[in-house]
Amino acid sequence: MEMYFVDPGHFHASLVLREPLEGVSGNVKVYAPEGPELESFLEAVGRYNDRKPNPADWKPDIHIDENLPKCPRRGKGIVVLAGKNSRKTERILDAITKGYNVLSDKPLAINSDDFPLLEKAYCLARKKGLVILELMTERKDELNIRTREVFRDRTLTGGSPDSPCIEMESVHHFYKEVDGVPLRRPAWYYDVKEQGEGIADVTTHLVDLILWQCFPDEAISPEDVELVSASHYPTTITPGQFFRSTGENAAGPLQVYSNGTLTFRIRDIYARISVRWDFEGGPDTFQAWYHCAGGDVAVLQNETTGYSKKLFDSGSDITPVRTLSHEDHFSLVARDFLAYVRGEKMPEWEAPNTLSKYCLLTKAVEMASRE
């Protein structure tokens, strides 16, 4: 099976190749412009090939172009997208139109103009028998899996806009290490018109967790979801910080709208999620609180050299969980995707829940921009 990478400008693209993928040709095809983003992708793939033990054996076939040809064999070609988000939705639709299956990093849409294109892509994929799957790696995390199991026997209390029954907070850092190497961000990562705002990016994982954990195996339609409020505020990035992160110069301080909060309702359940991006500092963290009739549940995650994680159920500390790192989860999702491409049935809720999520988040960006 042929795998095509289109403009792999985000490091998540290379993580798909971190482990072997059964049935995928080692001659991966890369369609991208020349520049540091392509070089970073190739360097990462080279590290996987050179590691000991268990080296990979990928042979990138480079095409200095961003335009895919028509798929040579319908249903056999697969496209991986992880780069500029301003063109992500357009590229998903283009790949489906040309006959490819699509494995895409988040976000699939970053504004209200993108959402109709995403709906069209999913509709066309269904008609053509093709697969679109988002890299929702958090579903592979052992702690999140355990939390999902808790909610099979627990009723959420509903809450209200002022006192939601689900609260989540995620803190990230622009400057950090990945696989032991300082992460070089592309300059466009600091442009929300290219990358998307914080409430259109990291929030994709948070909303997905709520749908996946609290409504397990249920299809949620856009009519089941109501946006209550949305706000955003910037992180200031100095020219010195920008240079450390990208290797490029900035004319002055940048105001990056990477932070925000949104409150929403899914059926009768109210939730509030917040995201914050600092330039650097401590580890990335995630906290979640679920207020349930049978006792509250709290989840705490702290990324250090690995992930230190705890699940608290009704005040008692369930054994802390240390798992596979975030980087390990990409190949696990890729294997699920390949199974769907080969004919395994995708869950009925996957497509409608993804579209409902992006209907909510693109409306949130629009609402926050008006505030």
Average the pLDDT over 187-209 and give the result. Answer: 95
Q: Does position 346 have pLDDT exceeding 60, yes or no?
A: yes
Structure tokens at 262: 């949104």
312 vs 297, higher pLDDT: 297
Residue 308: its pLDDT value, please? 59
Whether pLDDT at 119 is above 50: yes
Residue in 63, 103, 56, 109 with CA at minimum distance from that of residue 79: 103
The reply to whether 86 and 160 lie within a common domain is no
Q: Which residue has the higher pLDDT, 150 or 248?
A: 248
**Higher-confidence residue: 109 or 10?**
109
CATH code for position 250: 3.30.360.10
Percentage of the residues of the chain whose pLDDT score is greater than 70:
95
Residue 335 placed within a domain: no
CA distance from start to end of the chain = 48
- 184 and 302 Cβ atoms separated by less than 8 Å: no
User: What strand order describes the sheet that includes 285-290?
Assistant: 225-237, 254-266, 269-278, 166-173, 285-290, 297-303, 307-313, 316-321
The per-residue pLDDT for 66 is 84
The overall average pLDDT reported for the chain is: 91
**Higher pLDDT pick, 182 / 366:** 366
Query: Do 224 and 243 fall into the same domain?
Result: yes
What pLDDT band is residue 305 in, cutting at 50, 70 and 90?
Answer: very low
Nearest to 215 by CA among 274, 301, 163, 155: 155
User: Is the residue at 334 inside a domain?
Assistant: no
Mean pLDDT, rounded, for 273-302: 88
Q: CB within 8 A of 324, min separation 6: which ones?
A: 140, 142
Task: Write phi, then psi, for 28 (nearest 5 degrees).
Answer: -70, 140
Interval 20-38: pLDDT, tens: 999 999 999 999 999 999 9
Which SS3 state, helix, strand or coil, does residue 290 take?
strand
Same-domain pairing of 111 and 153:
no
Quick check: is 338 in a domain? no
Average pLDDT of the residues in 289-311: 75
Pair 173, 277: CB distance under 8 Å: yes
DSSP lists the bridge partners of residue 7 as: none
pLDDT-derived band at 150 (thresholds 50, 70, 90) equals confident
> For residue 181, which of 367, 21, 65, 14 has the smallest C-alpha distance?
14
Structural domain ending residue among the three candidates 116, 135, 154: 135
Whole-structure pTM value = 0.93
130 and 142 share one domain: no
The residue range of the domain holding 250 is 138-327+345-370
pLDDT at 314 over 70: no
- pLDDT at position 304: 59
The pair of three-digit structure tokens given for residue 255, joined into one six-digit string: 């105001």
Q: Are residues 88 and 154 in the same domain?
A: no
